[in-house]
Amino acid sequence: MANVGFIGLGAMGTAIVEQLLAADHTVTGWNRTKSKADQLIATGMKWADSPKAVVEAADVTFSMLMNDAALRAVVSGPNGVLAGIGPGKIYADMSTVSPTVVRELAPQVADKGGQMLDSPVSGSPVTVRHGNLAFMVGGDRAAFEQIEPILLTIGPKATYIGASGQASVMKIALNLSIPVQLLAMFEGLALAEKNGIPRELALEVMLNSAIVSPAMKYRGPFALELPENPLFNMTGQRKDIFMALEMGHEADVPLPTAAATAQVMATASAMGYSDEDFGVLYKALARMAGLE
């Protein structure tokens, strides 16, 4: 079994570490707020006092962070990843971040003798716990092949995408589709409800129709009841769609449905829903339609 480090123990990080521990890997972890790690420590995770200490203790270190700024903060500084990494060590970031940041940091890791991979994921904490998380990996192919067996103890599929940053490109391309799909389904749901079909009935029909994807299967029911703990809040999803729009602008790729969805998400945030799971889009649409 592998000697693994993990940085960032939010909802996704916690679920992944649970899987790593269940597969009998040795895991050393760090999180900015230590109390979030208490349950993992109780079930066998070792605690380190800094990202540097995690990397020093592990052969392969993963991170799951909120955004570009959080990744830069964890990698840099006297207690960061760069201060602890050395020859033979691999650092794989699972966050959804800008490819530009990955391509900025990877050479700095290489200068220390290590390898940095971008290894974003497709899924949610629910997906992780069901053993269905999928990975996209960019960077050195030999380093990918070295960590692939670890990834496959978490989920069934790890796909090598290409050079450093390319997996982050792929993840952003995937992530723009989910809120677009959800908004389209919720628009139909609002139309049905406004015309007298009960919300629960209309949703049941939609979830058993040809329009539904796996992501809609588990997010569609949020039109009826939002999860107590957001799987992915509006702020995080807006960050992802903004990155997609920026990439589209730079590459001259029109993203009209993503742009329209971003505007509705901005409206939902202005309504006070920033911290809710982005399934709250239905509540925002319902308010605009006079249903709530």
> 0.75 exceeded by the pTM?
yes
Per-residue confidence (pLDDT) for residue 268, from 0 to 100: 97
Between the alpha carbon of residue 236 and those of residues 116, 137, 245, 269, the distances in Å are 24, 21, 15, 11
pLDDT in tens, 172-190: 999 999 999 999 999 999 9
Confirm whether 112 is a catalytic residue: no
What percentage of the chain exceeds 90 in pLDDT?
93
pLDDT in tens, 38-54: 999 999 999 999 999 99
Q: Are strands 90-93 and 60-63 parallel, antiparallel or unpaired?
A: parallel
Span of 10-14, 82-86, 122-126, 280-284 with lowest mean pLDDT: 122-126
Residue 280: closest CA among 270, 207, 129: 270
**Which class in CATH covers the domain with range 3-163?**
alpha beta
Per-residue confidence (pLDDT) for residue 231, from 0 to 100: 85
Taking 90 as the threshold, does the pLDDT of residue 218 lie above it? Answer: no
Mean pLDDT of the chain: 96
Taking 90 as the threshold, does the pLDDT of residue 151 lie above it? Answer: yes
pLDDT in tens, 71-130: 999 999 999 999 999 999 999 999 999 999 999 999 999 999 999 999 999 988 888 998
Average pLDDT on 211-228 reads: 92
Q: Which helix (H) or strand (E) holds 238?
A: helix 234-251
Residue 173: closest CA among 101, 231, 235, 120: 120
Domain ranges of the chain: 3-163, 176-288
Average pLDDT on 255-284 reads: 97
**Which class in CATH covers the domain with range 176-288?**
mainly alpha
Domains 3-163 and 176-288 share a fold: no
Q: Which of 52, 89, 112, 171 is catalytic?
A: 171
